[in-house]
Amino acid sequence: MKALVLAGGKGTRLRPLSSTMAKHLIPIANKPILFYALDQIAETGIADIGIVISPETGESIKEAVGGGSNWGVQITYILQPEPLGLAHAVKTAQEFLGDSLFLMFLGDNLIKGSITQFVEEFNRHRPDALILLKEVGDPRCFGVAELDNLGQITHLEEKPKQPRSNLAVIGIYLFSSAVHQSIAQLKPSWRGELEITDAIQGLITSGQRVQGHILEDWWIDTGNKDDLLEANQVLLDALLKRDIKGKVDSQSQVIGMVEVRQGAEVENSTLRGPLSIAEGCQIKNSVIGPYTSIGKETIVEASSVERSVVLENCRIHDIGQLEDSVIGRGAQITMSGDKYKAVGLFLGDDAKAEL
């Protein structure tokens, strides 16, 4: 079995941050989103992974992921020249996939726990497709599946105006090679894309066996700022352990699950977990957390930061209350007015904000 990870696209909903970096490399709990998917795939024992990349961000993904040795896998990069749909991505990767069974994983999705059970279920029953589903409040933004009482998917529709169920297709699939023939017969949808939901519906229509697996745990599609903040909170809650490797002076207080990585320095500050402070940070005379990730080499002075994702090499000075914010690499934030007002920001790389 092979795996196909989709890490292309332009990430328009995450601009301005995604204008200068791949959305799949945005760090959540101080770890790139894409790395969580690779961790979960490697855990299944799948060792041959193709990553679909775009011309705009492909080189940065190659640089970050490398050849796969960090996961004990072999990575093949597959260029998708234009974002023409998920089924188009599979079509672009057909030479890599060959006749293999394969797992397809959208690289900006986060789910709790292991996908090994999902892969094992597919191997036991060998349907032509096994689709991971999740109950959602408003399914109109997703592909929507209908199931019969045996767990077979009877109908799929992409972003329906009147959904037939609340079961969303969340972006993790297992396929036999039969999907390639279905994709070959597709025509672009009204969005101008080859839809994977249409390909799966083609399997159903032609009498192939398509099963659904309903996910009971959490799932987050990291498509916008609020999703990033939610993902950061959920992952810090789920994964973080107290681990103080950096220097924390005697005037500072550390409360709860706090990670201070090697080379970070904390002076006269309060750290409230769950909280991750990356390598080389300097935190002085500040209150940080909860639910905050501070990226490498960032300096925070005389400020309060909570429920935020701050990327590397930022400078935050004299900010009375920064909250619910996503701050891009190299951003500088200073206060010139009333420092007691709460501030929520979404800044791209190298932004400067004087408040």
CATH of the domain at 65: 3.90.550.10
Among 210, 235, 260, where does a domain finish?
A: 235
3-state secondary structure of 271: strand
Kindly tell me if the per-residue pLDDT of 16 is higher than 70: no
Range of the domain at 350: 240-354
221 and 325 fall within a common domain: no
Confidence band for 190, pLDDT divided at 50, 70 and 90: confident
Same domain, 106 and 223: yes
pLDDT at 179: 95
| 246 and 215 within one domain | no
Alpha-carbon distance 31 to 40, whole Å? 14
**Are 229 and 244 in the same domain?**
no
Q: In this model, does residue 39 exceed pLDDT 90?
A: yes
Does 187 lie in the same domain as 296? no
pLDDT recorded at residue 262: 95
pLDDT score recorded for residue 273 = 92
Q: Work out the average pLDDT over 218-225.
A: 79
Q: What pLDDT is recorded for position 12? A: 65
**DSSP-derived 3-state class of residue 339:** coil
- Cβ neighbours of residue 160 closer than 8 Å, sequence gap 6 or more: 139, 140, 144
- Give me the CATH number covering residue 264: 2.160.10.10
Which of 187, 210, 235 lies at the terminal end of a domain, its last residue?
235
CB 216 within 8 A of CB 167: no
β-strands 48-53, 219-221 pairing: unpaired
Asked whether residue 67 falls in the same domain as residue 87, the answer is yes
- Reported as a single tens digit per residue, the pLDDT across 106-144 is 988 888 878 898 999 999 999 999 999 988 888 888 888
DSSP state of 17: G
CA terminus-to-terminus distance, the chain = 53
Mark whether 85 and 218 lie in a shared domain.
Answer: yes
Asked whether 6 and 105 are in contact (CB, 8 A), the reply is yes
Residue 53: in which H helix or E strand, if any?
A: strand 48-53
65 and 174 in a common domain: yes
β-bridge pairing 109-111 and 219-221 = antiparallel
Number of domains in the chain: 2
Q: Tell me, yes or no, whether 177 and 256 share the same domain.
A: no
Among 149, 193, 194, 197, which residue's Cα sits nearest to residue 169? 197
Residue position matching structure tokens 């904000």: 353
Same domain? For 75 and 134 the reply is: yes
Q: Which residues contact 252 (CB under 8 A, 6 or more apart)?
A: 266, 267, 268, 269, 270, 271
Query: Do 209 and 320 belong together in one domain?
Result: no
Given 209, 235, 261, the domain boundary residue is 235
Same domain flag for 127 and 193? yes
